[in-house]
Amino acid sequence: MTDEAYLRRGVSPTKDDVKKAVEGQPQGLSPGAFCKVVEDLAGDPAWCAAVHADGAGTKSSAAYLMYRETGDPAWFAGLAQDSVVMNTDDLACIGAVGGFRLSNTIGRNSHRIDGACVAAVIDGYRRTIARLQDLGIDVEMTGGETADVGDLVRTLIVDSTIVVRMRRQDVIAASRIRPGDAIVGLSSTGKAHYEDKANSGMGSNGLTAARHLLLRREYLEKYPESVSETLAPGDAYCGRFRLEDRLPGSDLSVGEAILSPTRTYLPVVRDVLRALPGAVHGLVHCTGGGQQKCRDFGEGLIYVKDALFPRPPLFEAIRASGGISEAELYKVFNMGHRLEAYCDPADASAVIDAAARHGIEAKRVGRVERSPDGRNRVVVRDRGGEHVYG
Question: How much is the pTM?
Answer: 0.94
The predicted-structure confidence for 17-76, as pLDDT tens digits, reads as follows: 665 666 667 889 999 999 999 999 999 999 999 999 999 999 999 999 999 999 999 999
pLDDT digits (tens, 9 = 90+) for 128-180: 999 999 999 999 999 999 999 999 999 999 999 999 999 999 999 999 999 99
Per-residue pLDDT at 18: 60
Predicted confidence at residue 342, as pLDDT, reads: 98
Angle between helices 59-70 and 207-214 (to 10 degrees): 40
* pLDDT of 121 above 80: yes
Measured between alpha carbons, how far is 340 from 352 in angstroms, rounded to an integer?
11
CB 45 within 8 A of CB 367: no
Q: Is the pLDDT of residue 321 over 90?
A: yes
Given a contact cutoff of 8 angstroms between Cβ atoms, the answer to whether 158 and 56 are in contact is: yes
Phi, psi of 254 (to 5 degrees): -60, -40
Q: pLDDT tens-digit profile of 218-265? A: 999 999 999 998 888 899 999 999 999 999 999 999 999 999 999 999
Query: pLDDT above 90 covers what percent of the chain?
Result: 92
Q: What is the arithmetic mean of pLDDT over 191-215?
A: 97
Predicted local confidence at residue 360, as pLDDT: 98
Report the 3 state secondary structure along the chain: CCHHHHHHCCCCCCCHHHHHHCCCCCCECCCCCCCCEEECCCCCCCEEEEEEEEECCCHHHHHHHHHHHHCCHHHHHHHHHHHHHHHHHHHHCCCCCCCEEEEEEEEECCCCCCHHHHHHHHHHHHHHHHHHHHCCCCEEEEEEEEEECCCCCCCEEEEEEEEEEEEHHHCCCHHHCCCCCEEEEEECCECCCCCCCCECCCCCCCHHHHHHHHECCHHHHHCHHHCCCCCCHHHCCCCCECCCCECCCCCCEHHHHHCCCCCCCHHHHHHHHHHCCCCEEEEEECCCCHHHHHHHCCCCEEEEECCCCCCCHHHHHHHHCCCCCHHHHHHHCCCCEEEEEEECHHHHHHHHHHHHCCCCCEEEEEEEEECCCCCCEEEEEECCEEEEEC
Task: Give the residue-averaged pLDDT of 259-277.
Answer: 98
Instruction: Tell which residue, 334, 368, 283, has the closest CA to residue 34.
Output: 283
pLDDT value, residue 1: 42
Position 83 scores a pLDDT of 98
**What pLDDT is attached to residue 27?**
82
- Residue 369 predicted with pLDDT over 90: yes
Cross-strand partners of 28: 37
Give the Å distances, CA to CA, from 83 to 111, 189, 212.
23, 18, 22
> Mean of the per-residue pLDDT values for the chain?
95
Residue 200 clears pLDDT 60, i.e. is over it? yes
CA gyration radius for the chain? 20
Are the C-beta atoms of residues 182 and 281 closer than 8 Å to each other?
no
**In contact, 175 and 167? CB cutoff 8 Å:** no
Q: State the Cα–Cα distance between residues 12 and 18, nearest whole angstrom.
A: 9
Q: Alpha-carbon distance 55 to 153, whole Å?
A: 15
Question: For the domain 3-389, what is the CATH code?
Answer: 3.90.650.10
The residues pairing with 211 across neighbouring beta strands, listed in sequence order, are none
Q: pLDDT over 70 for what percent of the chain?
A: 94
Residue 232: its pLDDT value, please? Answer: 86
Give backbone dihedrals phi and psi of 105, rounded to 5 degrees, phi first. -130, 125
CB 188 within 8 Å of CB 201 = yes
- Position 3 scores a pLDDT of 57
